[in-house]
C-alpha cells in the first residue's frame, strides 16, 4: 500500500495512491475524497458470502463495534488516489501483517491491503467482561500485507521480550501481537471470594481472583452508615468485615480451591504479628499460590498510622511476612502518601515479588442537612471512576521505579465498554 499521512494536526488524513486494478479495503464512512478513477463498493464485513456472511457481518457489528459494511476501493487507472480519515482525533499507525499477526481492539481498524483480512476471535468471559478490549470478540488479522489502525490520542509501541511484564489500562490498548500473553484479574474487594459469581460465569476463565480481605480474627466491621455515594465514585468504611482466617480455611477454601484460576488471598492486620500469623495459617493451602498484603491498615502499636504510609513500617511488615511465606508475595500499596515510589522500593528491597496499586484514596462526605459526616467513621476510602487518573499516574511512577511486576487497579469500570 503506497500512502502518505498528514500529521500536521490532531486530525490526520491518509492519502493512498493506487496502481491500475489495485484494491484496498477501508472502514465504512472514513472516505474523504477520491480522484483519478476509483470505484467504491460497499460489502458485508465478512470474507464469506450468503447467509453465513450476513451472520458473520452482523455478529461483528453487534459484539465488537465494527461496521456491518466495509468499503472496497478499486483503481481504474494508474496513480488514482483515495483519501481516508478516522472518526476521532489521534494517530494512525501501520501494522505489517504476515509473519506476525495482530489482535486489534474495537473501532481501531482503518484500512488494509486486499491480501489482509481479520476474523472475530472469541475471548474468555473474564477478559470480555473485565477487559474493555473489544467485548466478547476481538479482531485477529489474517493474510499478509499492510493494515492501518488508528487511536484516540497518541500511540506508543512497546516491545516485550518476556523478561518483564507491563500493566496497561485496558481502554488504552490499540493492538497487540497474537504471541502476547495477557491476563485480566479481579481486584480484592470487588469479587468477594469468587463463589458469589459462580452462577453467572465460568470462574476458570478469569486469570485470577484476589479474594476479600482476611484477618487473623473475625471482624464485625465499622458501625453503619459505612458507605456513601459520591460523584463518579463511592466512599466506604466497611472496616474489613470478615469471619477470620480459620473460617476461610475451613469453610471458604474447600469451595473455591478447585476453580481453575489463581486464588490470591488479601491479608490484613493491626500488628506485624497479625500479618505473620495469618500468613502462616495460609501457607499450607496448596491452591493459594500467592497472598496480597494490605498495608493500608492502621498499625495499632504506632498510634494508628497505616503501615503503608511509611517506608520503614512497610519494610518491617514485608520482611516479617517474607520470612514465613515462601510463595509469591504481593504488597498492596496505599495512595495516601507523598511519594509512592519510596514505599514500592522499600517493599521490593525486603523481598516482595510484586506490588499492587492503588488502594482507596482517603475521602470524606458531609450531610448538609444534618451538618455532620455521612460515614460513622467520618472518613473512608474513595473508589470508582474518579480515582482512575490518580491510579494511572501512580502505576506509571511505580513501574519506572522498581524491577518487580506492577499490578494496576483503581477506577476501572468497563462493563458498558465490554458488552
Cell of 180: 502476547
Helix (H) or strand (E) holding 397: helix 388-399
Peptide bond into 149 cis (omega under 30): no
Strand-strand pairing, 372-373 and 366-367:
antiparallel
Task: Judge whether 297 counts as a catalytic residue.
Answer: yes
Q: In Å, what is the CA distance from 183 to each residue of 105, 261, 292?
A: 15, 11, 17
Cell of 184: 485480566
C-alpha 97: how far from its chain's center? 26
Residue 225's closest CA among 239, 244, 242? 239
Query: Could you write out the DSSP letters of every residue in 95-128?
Result: EEESSS-EEE-TT-EEEEETTEEEEEEEPPHHHH
Burial of 375-402, coded b for 16+ CB within 10 Å and e otherwise, reads: bebeebbbbbebbbeebbebbebbbebb
Residue in 112, 146, 297, 386 annotated catalytic: 297
Residue 207's closest CA among 289, 127, 288? 127
Q: How is residue 251 annotated by DSSP?
A: I
Q: Which residue has the cell 491500475?
A: 20
Strand partners, 306: 298
Q: What distance in Å separates the CA atoms of residue 419 and residue 417, rounded to the nearest whole number?
A: 6
Q: What distance in Å separates the CA atoms of residue 279 and residue 118, rounded to the nearest whole number?
A: 48
Q: What's the farthest any 2 CA atoms get from each other in the chain?
A: 82
Cell of 381: 476510602
Which residues, 6+ apart, have CB-to-CB distance to 50 below 8 Å? none
Q: What distance in Å separates the CA atoms of residue 100 and residue 177, rounded to the nearest whole number?
A: 7
By annotation, the residues acting in catalysis are 297
Amino acid at each position: 500500500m503506497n500512502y502518505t499521512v498528514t500529521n500536521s494536526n490532531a486530525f490526520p488524513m491518509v492519502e493512498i495512491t493506487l496502481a491500475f486494478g489495485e484494491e484496498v479495503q477501508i472502514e465504512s464512512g472514513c472516505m474523504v475524497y477520491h480522484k483519478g478513477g476509483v470505484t467504491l463498493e460497499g460489502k458485508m464485513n465478512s470474507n464469506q458470502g450468503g447467509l453465513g456472511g450476513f451472520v458473520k457481518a452482523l455478529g461483528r457489528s453487534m459484539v465488537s463495534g465494527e461496521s456491518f459494511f466495509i468499503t472496497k476501493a478499486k483503481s481504474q487507472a494508474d496513480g488514482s488516489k483515495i483519501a481516508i480519515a478516522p472518526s476521532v482525533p489521534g494517530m494512525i499507525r501501520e501494522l505489517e501483517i504476515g509473519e506476525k499477526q495482530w489482535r486489534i481492539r474495537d473501532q481501531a481498524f482503518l484500512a488494509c491491503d486486499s491480501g489482509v483480512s481479520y476474523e472475530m476471535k472469541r475471548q474468555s468471559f473474564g477478559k470480555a467482561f473485565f477487559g474493555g478490549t473489544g467485548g466478547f470478540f476481538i479482531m485477529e488479522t489474517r493474510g499478509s500485507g499492510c493494515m492501518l489502525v488508528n487511536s484516540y490520542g497518541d500511540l506508543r509501541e512497546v516491545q516485550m521480550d518476556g523478561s518483564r511484564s507491563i500493566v496497561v489500562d485496558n481502554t488504552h490498548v490499540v493492538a497487540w501481537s497474537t504471541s502476547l500473553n495477557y491476563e485480566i484479574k479481579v481486584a480484592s474487594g470487588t469479587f468477594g471470594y469468587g463463589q458469589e459469581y459462580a452462577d453467572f460465569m465460568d470462574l476458570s476463565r478469569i486469570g485470577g481472583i484476589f479474594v476479600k480481605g482476611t484477618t487473623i480474627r473475625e471482624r464485625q466491621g465499622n458501625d453503619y452508615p459505612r458507605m456513601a455515594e459520591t460523584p463518579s465514585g463511592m466512599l466506604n468504611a466497611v472496616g474489613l468485615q470478615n469471619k477470620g482466617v480459620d473460617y476461610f480455611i475451613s469453610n471458604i477454601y474447600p469451595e473455591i480451591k478447585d476453580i481453575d484460576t489463581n486464588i490470591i488471598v488479601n491479608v490484613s492486620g493491626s500488628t506485624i504479628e497479625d500479618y505473620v500469623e495469618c500468613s502462616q495459617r495460609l501457607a499450607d493451602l496448596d491452591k493459594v499460590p500467592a497472598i496480597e498484603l494490605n498495608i493500608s491498615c492502621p498499625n495499632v502499636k504506632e498510634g494508628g498510622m497505616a503501615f503503608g504510609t511509611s517506608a520503614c513500617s512497610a519494610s518491617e511488615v514485608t520482611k516479617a511476612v517474607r520470612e514465613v511465606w515462601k510463595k509469591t508475595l504481593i504488597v498492596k500499596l496505599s495512595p495516601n502518601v507523598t511519594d509512592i515510589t519510596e514505599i514500592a522500593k522499600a517493599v521490593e528491597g525486603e523481598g516482595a515479588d510484586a506490588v499492587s496499586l492503588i488502594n482507596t484514596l482517603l475521602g470524606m462526605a458531609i450531610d448538609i442537612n444534618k451538618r455532620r459526616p455521612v460515614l460513622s467513621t467520618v472518613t473512608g476510602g474513595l473508589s470508582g471512576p474518579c480515582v482512575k487518573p490518580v491510579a494511572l499516574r501512580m502505576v506509571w511512577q511505580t513501574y519506572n521505579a522498581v524491577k518487580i511486576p506492577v499490578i494496576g487497579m483503581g477506577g476501572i469500570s468497563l462493563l458498558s465498554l465490554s458488552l
